[in-house]
Amino acid sequence: MNPDSDGALAEADLARVCDLLYRQTGILVPGNRRAFVERRVLERMRATGTDALPAYLARLRADRDGEVQLFVNAFTVNETYFNREEHQLHCLTGSLLGAVTAGRTLGDPIRIWSMPCATGEEPYSLAIWLLEHWPAVDDWEIEIVGSDIDTRALAAAQAGRYGTRALGRLPPATVARYFTREEGTAGGPTWRILPELRGSVRFSRRNLVDGAGMAQEGRFDIVFCRNVLIYFDDASRKIAAANLFSALRPGGFLCLGHTESMARIPSRFRTHRFPEAVVYQRPEDAHA
């Protein structure tokens, strides 16, 4: 049950770890990611001073010192950048917001959810894009929420500091308008989101396969859920799709990553092909 002499985990031990990760997050680890799983588990064992996997699994079951969350954090993928999948941002201001606000009273709330939000680039991109590209931005009460299962990523999002690579797709004038440059960090200069813009986005810990937790956020007009369903099996996708459906107001829209779709998932969503992007809509007459 201990790691082998070369540091590898036995097959049965690896299966236990993958099962625990799946039950906690809905993420199914493919067989070709074995080395990734081993590396992350052994890192957590070293961090907790645990020599044997059974002892580490016992620590997880007892959730001593919040180890379950730290275990989950070790497996999340937070690689992203500002203005990712920009065609959806064009769709947001070119099509979706017009549909959402039709028939509403000026000043009504418009709620947008970035789930998962990773280290914050996506929800901050949404805020900046609205300020730069939607003339009606001041006519509505806009709430942007960023949620993720990874508490480490959420802490980075709230801090709002980013390196050159993350800002690579932003025009220099936009960077100058919404960021301040900070010098002297180990990895070179960083840029920090201005305080007033950081304050315009609220962050929370949520899990896509935890319907009760997601329901605590209320309902949204538009949800961006990109590049996470690709890590789920069909069973987890069905749960996530149902939770996302419930998170939308009737008539609300869901934007997925460009490699994702509702294919193979029995879905109550309607597919809309706008000029800028394909999105999914909760029908106006749909019940929870």
Interval 159-212: pLDDT, tens: 999 999 999 999 999 999 999 999 866 667 899 999 999 999 999 999 999 999
Share of the chain above pLDDT 90, in %: 75
Contact 38, 10 (CB under 8 A): no
Whether 251 has a pLDDT exceeding 70, the answer reads yes
Q: How confident is the model at residue 128 (pLDDT cuts 50, 70, 90)?
A: very high
Q: What is the pLDDT of residue 265?
A: 72
Q: What is the pLDDT of residue 259?
A: 84
Q: Within 13 A of 130's CA, how many CA atoms are on the CB side?
A: 24
Q: How confident is the model at residue 266 (pLDDT cuts 50, 70, 90)?
A: low
CA distances from 29 to 17, 134, 137, 230 (A): 10, 40, 41, 11
Q: How confident is the model at residue 12 (pLDDT cuts 50, 70, 90)?
A: confident
Q: What is the pLDDT of residue 262?
A: 79
Q: What is the pLDDT of residue 260?
A: 87
Q: Would you please indicate which residues are annotated as catalytic (active-site) residues?
A: 40, 148
Q: What is the pLDDT of residue 2?
A: 53
Q: Which residues pair with 182 in a beta bridge?
A: 190
CA distances from 215 to 11, 207, 238, 254 (A): 37, 11, 16, 16
3-state helix, strand, coil in the chain (%, to 5): 45, 20, 35
Question: In whole numbers, what is the pLDDT of the chain averaged over residues?
Answer: 92
Mean pLDDT in residue range 248-253: 98
Mean pLDDT in residue range 79-103: 97
Alpha helices in 76-206 (DSSP H): 86-91, 97-101, 121-133, 151-159, 172-178, 195-198
Whether 1 has a pLDDT exceeding 80, the answer reads no
Whether 68 has a pLDDT exceeding 90, the answer reads yes
What is the spatial distance between Cα 155 and Cα 191, in angstroms, rounded to a whole number? 16
Q: What is the pLDDT of residue 236?
A: 94
Whole-model pTM: value is 0.91
Share of the chain above pLDDT 70, in %: 94
Q: What is the pLDDT of residue 5?
A: 45
Please classify residue 149 by burial: count the beta carbons closer than 10 Å to its beta carbon, then call 0-12 exposed, 13-18 middle and 19+ buried: buried
Contact 234, 225 (CB under 8 A): no
Q: Which domains does the chain have, with CATH numbers?
A: 11-75 (1.10.155.10), 86-281 (3.40.50.150)
The CA-based angle 257-262-263, given to 5 degrees, is: 115
